[in-house]
Structure formats: structure tokens, C-alpha cells
């Protein structure tokens, strides 16, 4: 993901953990909720389900294990799990910070030699 690019994810607070799925846009999710004939492939960005270890929609994202998916959703089939997360979860939008900071201040005129 590049700097200044919108990042849209759907957060689902489960009984045992918090789950995250990245999506193309909030509008794509809303359109899919109204019209289930829209393929999930047009909504989802990456087809990975992440867990945050009960840190809400923040924190370190780890790939969800099959057992955690089974325990929470009753299946480890990613299509079904992603659909449930998008259906029941909440949309979170954020913008990544620009990545044009100083890379090496030892080069150039900013440091006295």
C-alpha cells in the first residue's frame, strides 16, 4: 500500500477475537449489502482474514488460523467467513501517512561534518 492511499477495512468483533478484512471501498461494501449478486471479488481486497488478538481494529494483524475461523464462524471456508464479516462488521476508513520523510540525515547539508 502506498502513502496517502485510503485503506478501508471491515472490523468484526467476535466472541473470541476481532477479525479484519480489507475491502476496495466503503461504497463497494454498501452496494454488496444491498445486492448480493455482486461478486465478493469486486468488494474484497486481498482475500485474507486477519485477527487483532482482541485489539479492536488496531494493533498487529496476524492471519487468522483455520481453527479460530471454525470456532468463531462454524467454518474455515474463506468465502463464507469473508461474507459473514462484511455482512456483520463495521467499516473503518483511514488514510496512510505520506512516506516522503528524511531517509538518511547523514547525507547532505543537514549535518555538520
- Whether 21 maps to a domain, the answer reads yes
- Whether 110 maps to a domain, the answer reads no
Long-range contacts, 60-66 (Cβ 8 Å, 24+): 61/20, 64/17, 64/19
Angle between helices 78-88 and 26-34 (to 10 degrees): 100
Tell me the whole-structure pTM to 2 decimals: 0.76
CATH number of the domain encompassing residue 28: 3.30.1250.10
Segment 95-106, tens digit of pLDDT: 655 555 555 556
Q: How many CA atoms lie within 13 A of 41 on its CB side?
A: 1
- Whether 100 maps to a domain, the answer reads no
- Whether 103 maps to a domain, the answer reads no
Can you tell me the mean pLDDT for 75-82?
91
- Whether 57 maps to a domain, the answer reads yes
Cell numbers describing residue 110 = 543537514
Per-residue model confidence (pLDDT) at position 16? 85
Position 24 confidence tier, pLDDT thresholds 50, 70, 90: very high
Segment 39-62, tens digit of pLDDT: 999 999 888 999 988 777 777 888
Q: How many domains does the chain have?
A: 1
Amino acid at each position: 500500500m502506498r502513502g496517502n492511499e485510503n485503506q478501508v477495512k471491515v472490523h468484526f468483533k467476535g466472541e473470541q477475537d476481532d477479525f479484519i478484512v480489507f475491502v476496495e471501498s466503503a461504497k463497494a461494501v454498501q452496494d454488496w449489502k444491498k445486492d448480493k449478486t455482486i461478486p465478493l471479488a469486486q468488494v474484497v481486497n486481498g482475500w485474507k482474514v486477519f485477527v487483532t488478538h482482541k485489539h479492536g481494529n488496531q494493533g498487529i494483524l496476524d492471519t487468522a488460523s483455520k481453527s479460530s475461523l471454525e470456532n468463531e464462524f462454524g467454518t474455515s471456508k474463506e468465502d463464507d467467513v469473508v461474507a459473514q464479516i462484511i455482512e456483520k462488521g463495521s467499516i473503518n476508513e483511514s488514510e496512510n501517512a505520506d512516506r516522503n520523510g528524511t531517509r538518511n540525515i547523514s547525507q547532505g547539508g543537514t549535518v555538520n561534518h
